[in-house]
């Protein structure tokens, strides 16, 4: 769960909720984010009332969400309520999809479903391609889907602009994920609706594993994805399908509740530790390549600099470089999985979130150091 931030939390040791880089304007930013919080919370409350759902979780206390924290293997102080109840954002399961023609037909002068510059998570598996528009995922965060005969979960968390897709198949069955209403490191915590009944486990999107419950410690298998403009994805994959909108949320899809949030470096939930202040702004986009054996993370400015200089990268990025396309008009990095080394997964996130969750298994490319140089 990621929307409806509570009042700004105090900093933990080794971390903070913001860098104070906006001086006297900081209180204005805080007011703007608070207004976003209220508006988003009202939308979600309306959705729950229309569905006749009884809310589980009071938005403030982790214990009210009914999850067992047995086996919790992360810092309890960083596991917090996200401001809304369990399933406050409705995860999708086996949703309808459209062809590009149907998506075009739904984009008119009066109703713009998907315009060329809209970002999508592009997934290609089993010989099929599918695009998941972020303007929809902001209101769902989790899509339990099947693509090319493979059960997948496509996940997005607006608080740290993180996109990760996983295989859902595990020994003993196929997982189905929901939005728990909790956050860890200001990042989405999922829960599974599979066995054993009534005993769901909690899973961290960016850690890519279960952090509490019967499955604690179990890992998810991430997939290669690309986050890029719809126009770029459909040009490369003209036969792609696209996640269809839920007509009940048509009004919500037209709104962007995070515009103010990404206009500052302010964070709304505890994160620790944060990356060095002299490196990049906290919300700088990062693309990460790897898997269980470790990751290589590249901030967007480093990719842009290499692309402008037409420079061949060295080190661990060299193998991945042929798969990358920097799109300056969209400030995006598209990934062509056909050109990746076998078995390499791809994830996207804000700098602060990837640093906090993967500092121990990541090699950074282009990270600024204390003297202003880059590694």
Confidence at residue 109, expressed as pLDDT on a 0 to 100 scale: 65
- What pLDDT, on the 0 to 100 scale, is given for residue 198? 78
Say what the pLDDT of residue 52 is.
52
- Residue 312 has what pLDDT? 80
pLDDT of residue 311: 82
Ordered per-residue pLDDT tens for the chain, 375 residues? 444 433 333 345 344 445 433 334 444 444 444 444 444 454 454 454 445 567 899 999 999 999 999 999 999 999 999 999 999 999 999 999 999 999 999 987 667 789 999 999 999 999 999 999 999 999 999 999 999 999 999 999 999 999 999 999 988 789 999 999 999 999 999 999 865 677 899 999 999 999 999 999 999 999 999 999 999 999 999 999 999 999 999 889 988 899 899 999 999 999 999 999 888 999 999 999 999 999 999 999 999 999 999 888 888 899 999 999 999 999 999 999 999 999 999 999 999 999 999 999 999 998 643 333 344
Domain map (residue ranges) of the chain: 1-264, 265-364
SS (H, E, C) the chain: CCCCCCCCCCCCCCCCCCCCCCHHHHHHHHHHHHHHHHHHHHHHHHHHHHHCCCCCCCCCCHHHHCCCCCCCCCCHHHEEECCCCCCCCCCEECCCEEEHHHHHHCECCCCECCCCCCEEEEEEECCEEEEEEHHHHCCCCEEEEEECCEEEEEEEECCCCEEEEEECEECCEECCEEEEEEEECCEEEEEECCCCCCCCCEEECCCCEEEECCCCCCECCECCEEEEEHHHHHHHCCCCEEECCCHHHHHHHCCCCCCCHHHCCCCCCCCCCCCCCCCCCCCCEEEEEEECCEEEEEEHHHHHHHHHHCCCCCHHHCCCHHHEEEECCCCEEEECHHHCCCCCEEEEEEHHHHHHHHCCCEEECCCECCCCCEC
């Amino acid at each position: 769960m990621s929307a409806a931030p509570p009042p700004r939390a105090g900093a933990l040791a080794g971390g903070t909720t913001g860098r104070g880089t906006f001086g006297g304007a900081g209180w204005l930013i805080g007011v703007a984010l608070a207004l976003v919080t209220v508006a988003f919370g009202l939308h979600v409350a309306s959705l729950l009332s229309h569905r006749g759902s009884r809310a589980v979780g009071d938005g403030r206390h982790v214990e009210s969400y009914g999850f067992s924290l047995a086996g919790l293997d992360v810092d309890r102080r960083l596991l917090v309520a996200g401001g809304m109840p369990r399933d406050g954002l409705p995860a999708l399961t086996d949703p309808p999809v459209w062809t590009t023609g149907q998506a075009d037909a739904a984009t008119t002068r009066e109703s713009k479903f998907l315009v060329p510059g809209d970002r999508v998570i592009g997934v290609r598996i089993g010989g099929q391609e599918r695009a998941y528009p972020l303007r929809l995922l902001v209101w769902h965060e989790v899509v339990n889907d099947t693509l090319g005969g493979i059960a997948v979960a496509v996940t997005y968390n607006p608080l740290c602009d993180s996109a990760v897709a996983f295989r859902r198949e595990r020994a003993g069955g196929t997982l189905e994920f929901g939005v728990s209403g909790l956050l860890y490191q200001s990042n989405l915590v999922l829960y599974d609706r599979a066995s054993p009944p009534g005993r769901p486990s909690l899973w961290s999107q960016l850690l890519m594993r279960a952090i509490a419950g019967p499955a604690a410690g179990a890992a998810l298998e991430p997939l290669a994805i690309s986050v890029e403009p719809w126009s770029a994805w459909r040009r490369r994959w003209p036969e792609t399908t696209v996640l269809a909108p839920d007509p009940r949320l048509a009004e919500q899809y037209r709104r962007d509740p995070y515009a103010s949030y990404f206009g500052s470096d302010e964070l709304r939930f505890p994160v620790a530790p944060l990356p060095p202040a002299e490196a990049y702004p906290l919300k700088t986009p990062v693309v990460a390549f790897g898997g269980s054996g470790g990751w290589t993370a590249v901030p967007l400015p480093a990719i842009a600099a290499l692309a402008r200089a037409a420079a061949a990268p060295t080190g661990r990025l060299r193998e991945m470089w042929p798969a990358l396309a920097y799109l300056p008009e969209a400030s995006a990095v598209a990934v062509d999985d056909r050109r990746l080394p076998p078995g390499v997964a791809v994830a996207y996130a804000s700098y602060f979130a990837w640093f906090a969750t993967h500092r121990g298994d990541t090699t950074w490319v282009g990270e600024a150091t204390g003297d202003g140089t880059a590694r």
